[in-house]
Structure 1
């Protein structure tokens, strides 16, 4: 029997089915992000879900669609992140046994969170493909039901409930919705609901530059993908079959974003909206930052689809943003190796209102005189202009920086 296409009624039914079991997340106008991007930016905060990601919606809708026999036997999913936690959490709530297969290199915190939701976690394979193959083997051997992260009609319908909420929450119709794309479950559901309710709305898909799976498929080009990305949630080698069929009909544009744009978007969410976004969750904002002319003057809905970012990675992103904004600078001073030199240099820096973060003292560099000393000093300033003021003050005091990592 041929499966019917995903329709608005499927999404409306999903909304009724999952009502009260997932968060109806807030959507807010960001005046500051609007000023920065030139668009009227409305953010849907899906990182407010209990598992901090939108995946709960589709996972729950799929679990509620199981027969009683299927619920009793249990389900299995393959995921290294948000889908795993969504299936595990709602499976535990509903009393459904859950098995999750994860690659061996999955961060421990994600493994532990999934186990904390009561799931049996199997670590197998060095890649998602190997983990998926093993999940299918276990599924067949144990008679479980496979819960696909995106290529599933009920999953797509569950994700589409986000669009229903956004359209209800918006005081005026959107000009466009900007949606991150990995396998395509989220954008399939959102595009179906949004276009049914407002046919003239534009849907823009966003992919990480290293993983242009949807764009390649739409252009019928070879998939040249791979590499490290901060947006691991959308680092998918191929969109799902059902998802592609929807995207082919309903997606108006696909844009690719670079790593630095996603880092900047994560930083802006943290500093402007005071909220946490993972790389994939920030991809929509990264698109507005990267292609301002596409969105200028438009009323744009963004889906901040997840906030599960490793704390060390978040710290690195925020620190790198300080370097990018020239608020952290590494200066090198060479002077006579005599008592008080560092104190005098520190006084000049302090009098300028800058803060010394760390100092590295090097007497063994061969390009430094035998009676000299070299200091690498990491300073924190207000901005690039402030950094330049510190450099000029040091030069005027007889300690010109030999090297500066900002231009």
Structure 2
């Protein structure tokens, strides 16, 4: 089977009717801190604030005139939708965009403003994708795939062409976010043909690592569910062609967590005063993790700032988690005896460190449990604090990487109840749409008493709750059936040590 000549396709791609050659800029503060030269490829400066219009427009521009005239259709929750809508308007055709009903209004309005017709369908991208494919057949519209198409891949590959033209000195590595794989496939295909010495490194969230898992086992893997924070890369299964290209051209994939991503958003803001969306900051987070792992110095690294369609309401969550991601804050649960002098000894262990949070409520006559946030320089600093506390006989639990503690328990310390017998504690994620909480509650048996409930809106496309429920032991089978049929991702936190200390 013959494969496309991507070098030729990239060199002849039509993208500059709608896209600009984005700047390749030094990030001076980040470079100084990391002791390497960090260059940002500013795809967030495109007219749709994302690289996506390159591939979408190139695909449409290659269509025969009669096929283009019939119109195009796409499924997307954001950046691809805007690229298709803008490209269609530029080429004088119509674009129908199927978006999940959970898509924030700001993104729906952005597509409409660029001339796209919007159909809202389903809770997830997969729902929207299936409906778009059906409409494509029914209406005779050409489907514009977000990543698994040679013309789309070639359009994204023009970014690699620009990087080599803009910076002709040695480059150690280029870091690229991966969702479906179209962006890294195009860039990798171009770079490796001309500069095979440059490492092509993909970056994925730990909870949406479809390409990483696929490359590990040598075949495409479909994830049962994906994390929703970096929604621009929340893809369950990578493309067939993109997987083939990544097998050939990608040197490795670095995985990063939510806190790392939030810290990277802050890093880019401090250097550029631009606010990247989570997916747009993944490459920066990956570059930082790679530098730390390899103890790299005095090298030139390129990171793609690939999108800036950030929901404003999400900034609160990003700001809270950036300090954790930058290893500037540690969170501990500390147990001290309820006796005179204990608090003084506890404070002495913290030395000159600033407290970022302090929560305490008396638990019993013998022990007190303290939830404390401490400003630190690095993770080694946190380890020293924990060691000092332990040496004083204070049992210390590091909660810095505990999602339940960071999202919920820090706001609920002191909620222990002697009446909460047979209590189960679960975390749930659900689409942030009208009726989601009602659906959750309506599915539960009226015999199960809710003993704890915490919900906090972080401005994301999804909500997160923690629920304490009193379920009789002989009804555990019914409880499991409820979980299985609910359809929301969940996590059993009943044995979580932080829960046992403060709420159990």
> Shorter-chain TM-score: which interval?
0.7 to 0.9
| Residue deviations 1:69-92 (CA, integer Å, cap 9, x gap) | 112110000000100000001211
Partner of 1:247: 246
Distance change in 2, residues 1:227/1:58 (3 Å): closer
- Following TM superposition, by how much is the alpha carbon of 1:5 offset from its aligned partner in structure 2, in angstroms? 2.5
Q: Map 1:59-208 onto structure 2 (within 5 A).
A: 59-208=56-205
SS across alignment from 1:275:
coil
Q: Is the 8 A contact 1:213 1:225 kept in 2?
A: no
Q: Following the alignment from structure 1 to structure 2, what is the Cα–Cα distance between the partners of residues 171 and 233?
A: 30
Q: Is the 8 A contact 1:326 1:406 kept in 2?
A: no
Q: Is the 8 A contact 1:177 1:201 kept in 2?
A: yes
SS across alignment from 2:197:
coil
Distance change in 2, residues 1:31/1:220 (3 Å): same
SS across alignment from 1:245:
helix
Distance change in 2, residues 1:121/1:197 (3 Å): same
- Following TM superposition, by how much is the alpha carbon of 1:6 offset from its aligned partner in structure 2, in angstroms? 4.0
Distance change in 2, residues 1:272/1:406 (3 Å): farther
Q: Following the alignment from structure 2 to structure 1, what is the Cα–Cα distance between the partners of residues 17 and 86?
A: 15
Partner of 2:46: 49
Q: Following the alignment from structure 1 to structure 2, what is the Cα–Cα distance between the partners of residues 213 and 366?
A: 45
* TM-score computed with the length of structure 2 as normaliser: 0.64
Distance change in 2, residues 1:43/1:366 (3 Å): closer
SS across alignment from 2:169:
coil
Distance change in 2, residues 1:253/1:301 (3 Å): same
Distance change in 2, residues 1:244/1:34 (3 Å): same
- Following TM superposition, by how much is the alpha carbon of 1:284 offset from its aligned partner in structure 2, in angstroms? 0.9
Partner of 1:359: none
Partner of 2:236: 237
- Following TM superposition, by how much is the alpha carbon of 1:226 offset from its aligned partner in structure 2, in angstroms? 2.6
Q: Following the alignment from structure 2 to structure 1, what is the Cα–Cα distance between the partners of residues 100 and 227?
A: 16
- Following TM superposition, by how much is the alpha carbon of 1:97 offset from its aligned partner in structure 2, in angstroms? 0.4
Partner of 1:28: 25
Q: Following the alignment from structure 2 to structure 1, what is the Cα–Cα distance between the partners of residues 323 and 183?
A: 32
Distance change in 2, residues 1:286/1:280 (3 Å): same
Distance change in 2, residues 1:3/1:94 (3 Å): farther
SS across alignment from 1:291:
helix
Q: Is the 8 A contact 1:180 1:281 kept in 2?
A: yes
Aligned residues: 355
SS across alignment from 2:118:
strand
Distance change in 2, residues 1:366/1:234 (3 Å): closer
| Residue deviations 1:1-57 (CA, integer Å, cap 9, x gap) | x5633421110101xx22343111100122221223333211100000000000010
Q: Following the alignment from structure 2 to structure 1, what is the Cα–Cα distance between the partners of residues 399 and 177?
A: 33
Partner of 1:276: 275
- Following TM superposition, by how much is the alpha carbon of 1:211 offset from its aligned partner in structure 2, in angstroms? 1.3
- Following TM superposition, by how much is the alpha carbon of 1:225 offset from its aligned partner in structure 2, in angstroms? 5.2
Q: Following the alignment from structure 1 to structure 2, what is the Cα–Cα distance between the partners of residues 312 and 170?
A: 36
For structure 1, the 5+ residue unaligned runs are 328-353, 357-364, 368-378, 386-404
Between 1 and 2, higher relative CO (CA 8 Å, sep ≥ 6) is seen in 1
- Following TM superposition, by how much is the alpha carbon of 1:229 offset from its aligned partner in structure 2, in angstroms? 3.5
Q: Map 1:256-335 onto structure 2 (within 5 A).
A: 256-292=255-291, 293-294=293-294, 296-297=296-297, 298-321=299-322, 325=328
Q: Is the 8 A contact 2:259 2:321 kept in 1?
A: no
- Following TM superposition, by how much is the alpha carbon of 1:406 offset from its aligned partner in structure 2, in angstroms? 11
Q: What's the C-alpha RMSD, in Å, of the aligned pairs? A: 3.4
Q: Is the 8 A contact 1:183 1:236 kept in 2?
A: yes
Query: Which shows bigger deviation, 168-177 or 100-109?
Result: 168-177
